[in-house]
Amino acid sequence: MKSKFLFPYWCRFLGWALFLVHVPVVLLKKDLGFDVPGDLSDQGLFNSHHLFFMCTSLLMVSGLFLVAFAKEKIEDEQIWQVRLDSLRWAIYVNYLILIISLVFIEDTGHILHLNLWVPLLFFIVRFRWVIFRLNRSLSREG
């Protein structure tokens, strides 16, 4: 994966900030029952609940996207290989979850929501885990 297609290193921090802004907003809305104010009707595509879902989903996905595809401090061929392998595993896991969800879940809205964040989150977790293991093995050798 060429590093010219990756975001700068500092975008990782911006991505975590966007994702972390998303979490309490969604939790407060669900737990406390806040309603999004607005003069929009409760029917149709642009009702207040749908707009809230769109805004929070865009915050979450753009944050995870920036975290996933930000450069490392040192980008070498091994990092590229780990990134490519993690991306492949993320696609495998995403399609496995998608197939299972299509077979066993009737509500397709939840499937779409899962399909938005599962590949990015799995990619980030696996990529960070492999980098952690590589750093740990290097520190043991030295």
**Which residues of the chain register pLDDT less than 50?**
40
Distances (CA, A) of 31 to 16, 20, 106: 23, 17, 25
Count the alpha carbons within 13 Å of 123 in the hemisphere toward its beta carbon: 23
pLDDT, residue 114, reads 83
How high is the mean pLDDT of the chain? 85
Model confidence, pTM: 0.81
Structure tokens that stand for 130 in this block? 């492999």
